[in-house]
Chains A and B, each alone.
Chain A
């Protein structure tokens, strides 16, 4: 029998519509896989198997009705399982943001992105591990556990959506939601050999996303292939009156008729992304990937994004500044546990000092400093100005080319503990991903090879605002003629 966890979303939907197997069968196949390897990978903070089977049975009832009525079209997600990063609020399902300060939090409502998936009949398998408040690149900052990379369990899966990425790569879920503030969907997708989309800022509602950097946060999708990612993206994208930054621009979908040709597409290669110290195998894999896109009709130009080297200081001033304000709400009053103290101020200080982790406190401190009297202009104000220069880099580049292709990270997945005790070295890992967040443009990471340690190598493509369809089309074309995205980690067959 076919392994159900190998199927694409399209194949699953077709089989469910035909009654070849049920949503319960499909959900159970993923729950079995979770049973087999979750103890090794630690991808989830909360599992919801009973709820999942209940939702699956409901979906099966719905398919039954549709088969009787002959209305089988237009339900691409009905009965398909998904995992949700634990920074997205889920009604009556614990949501911790990877933090002790939300250990007891059971939300009374759903994030809009989650609500839309449930409205589509999707089945929630559980909440995936994340660096605390999505602050990190490895899941090592989770207060609960460090997730493992299915390709090498001594290495990180990336972060902060590392639990989502590990779960998809290890076939514990077909798709997952993540969030990307500075690369937190693209980097773990790259480390785990899967496809991850960070949409345009404002394209997907953040209502119910526990805020980190409000001018940067995006809800994204991780899946085995670009076509799977496209299905989920189209369900969650769109205007939401409850998020003032969400746009009502129409969502464009790529045209399947011409998806396998890229004639006339102009790809820009930014020289600043091929720096000293980048792993040679990554450069070679990306060159090969671009050569393949050229065989499909694309043309390549070298371009320059001269302010790229300044992205890290700009990002690590703006994001912590916004975080220091957003995380002020966690004070032991409205949600989560509380530390005892004589007075209210003492209770705030003790609760926050005890229940926030080291990295969260470090970033709140950094952000508070950057916003404080006497330093605002020199740090936060300066970073805001340089952010404009970075955005202008992209605007100028997109006058010449349609998309930009670049590495996602300077290295493949690093070993657990490799950056511990040296936060700056961890921050510098985000050099290639923070730029898209600062400019607000969409980016897509997908696998383009493996290094000699058999670790996945990813490439990212970046498009102008609201052109997610173009990114998905290019990656789909690439995945039609390659099989990197079909490779399975050795762990799966254990």
Chain B
């Protein structure tokens, strides 16, 4: 299992991460080695197993949808790199 440089660039694009050319090469070799090692999972017969995501023991409890006091907007906004009153500001999305 060997990843190509283009595959690494594609994954980085999906993950919204800008990588340097050195990082692309490093990740290509490191991720290839890791995935090679993980190939051993393929030897297991799992045809009759229904996959479950998450933990299996915990009953997920959904709380009642009742209004309750929440966090203050000003406290939430203060951590943003750029904001205007109650709105986050970002660079242009479209030209």
Within A406-430, the residues touching B (CB, 8 Å) are: 423-424, 427
From A309, A316, A358, A361, give the contact of B34 (CB < 8 A): A316
From A105, A215, A345, A368, give the contact of B15 (CB < 8 A): A368
Q: Which residue of B lies closest to A377 (CB)?
A: B51
| A202 at the binding interface (Cβ < 8 Å) | yes
Given contacts A241-B63, A344-B93, A388-B51, contact A372 B34 (CB under 8 A): no
Among B17, B44, B49, B63, which residue has the most Cβ atoms of chain A within 10 A?
Answer: B17
| A386 at the binding interface (Cβ < 8 Å) | yes
| A288 at the binding interface (Cβ < 8 Å) | no
Task: Give the contact stretch, choosing among A2-10, A140-148, A155-163, A244-252.
Answer: A244-252
Given contacts A244-B61, A389-B49, A440-B56, contact A324 B15 (CB under 8 A): yes
Contact check, B58 vs A333: say whether CB atoms are below 8 A apart. Answer: no
Within B34-58, the residues touching A (CB, 8 Å) are: 34-35, 37-38, 40-42, 44, 46, 49, 51-58
Contact check, A361 vs B23: say whether CB atoms are below 8 A apart. Answer: yes
Among B16, B52, B80, B92, which residue has the most Cβ atoms of chain A within 10 A?
Answer: B16
Across the interface, which residues of B come within 8 angstroms of A324, CB to CB? 15
Across the interface, which residues of B come within 8 angstroms of A264, CB to CB? none
A50–B80 alpha-carbon span in the complex (Å)? 27
From B8, B17, B72, give the contact of A353 (CB < 8 A): B17
A310–B76 alpha-carbon span in the complex (Å)? 42
| A258 at the binding interface (Cβ < 8 Å) | no
| A384 at the binding interface (Cβ < 8 Å) | yes
Contact check, A345 vs B34: say whether CB atoms are below 8 A apart. Answer: no
A368–B76 alpha-carbon span in the complex (Å)? 29
| A348 at the binding interface (Cβ < 8 Å) | yes
**A245 to chain B: closest CB distance in Å?**
5
Task: Give the contact stretch, choosing among A32-40, A334-342, A478-486.
Answer: A334-342
Q: Which residue of A lies closest to B42 (CB)?
A: A382
From A201, A352, A382, give the contact of B16 (CB < 8 A): A352
Within B1-15, the residues touching A (CB, 8 Å) are: 3, 8, 11-12, 14-15
**B57 to chain A: closest CB distance in Å?**
5
A385–B45 alpha-carbon span in the complex (Å)? 10
Contact check, B38 vs A201: say whether CB atoms are below 8 A apart. Answer: no
Chain B residues within 8 Å of chain A by Cβ, number: 53
From B11, B71, B92, give the contact of A109 (CB < 8 A): B71
Contact check, B59 vs A344: say whether CB atoms are below 8 A apart. Answer: no
A341–B35 alpha-carbon span in the complex (Å)? 33
Contact check, A427 vs B34: say whether CB atoms are below 8 A apart. Answer: yes
Given contacts A365-B17, A386-B46, A440-B57, contact A336 B81 (CB under 8 A): yes
Given contacts A106-B78, A108-B76, A313-B38, contact A353 B18 (CB under 8 A): yes
Across the interface, which residues of A come within 8 angstroms of B82, CB to CB? 338
Within A338-387, the residues touching B (CB, 8 Å) are: 338, 341-350, 352-354, 356, 358, 361-362, 364-366, 368-369, 372, 378-379, 381-387
Contact check, B90 vs A440: say whether CB atoms are below 8 A apart. Answer: no
**A40 to chain B: closest CB distance in Å?**
32
Contact check, A215 vs B55: say whether CB atoms are below 8 A apart. Answer: yes
Across the interface, which residues of B come within 8 angstroms of A388, CB to CB? 49, 51-52, 56
| B75 at the binding interface (Cβ < 8 Å) | yes
Across the interface, which residues of B come within 8 angstroms of A387, CB to CB? 51
A338–B37 alpha-carbon span in the complex (Å)? 36
| A121 at the binding interface (Cβ < 8 Å) | no
From B33, B78, B92, give the contact of A343 (CB < 8 A): B92
From B16, B37, B72, give the contact of A331 (CB < 8 A): B16
Contact check, B41 vs A382: say whether CB atoms are below 8 A apart. Answer: yes
A107–B71 alpha-carbon span in the complex (Å)? 11
| 15 further interface pairs, Cβ-Cβ under 8 Å (given A369-B31, A388-B49) | A106-B78, A108-B78, A202-B58, A241-B61, A245-B55, A245-B60, A313-B40, A333-B90, A336-B81, A342-B92, A368-B15, A379-B35, A384-B52, A385-B49, A389-B49
Which residues on A are within 8 Å of B, measured CB to CB?
104-109, 200-202, 214-215, 239, 241-242, 244-248, 307, 309-310, 312-314, 316-317, 324, 328, 331-338, 341-350, 352-354, 356, 358, 361-362, 364-366, 368-369, 372, 378-379, 381-389, 391, 423-424, 427, 440, 465
For this complex, 7 residue pairs linking A to B, each with C-beta atoms less than 8 Å apart, are A310-B41, A341-B91, A345-B93, A364-B15, A369-B11, A386-B44, A423-B30
The 8 closest A-B pairs by CB, nearest first: A353-B18, A108-B75, A384-B51, A338-B81, A313-B38, A385-B46, A349-B18, A202-B58
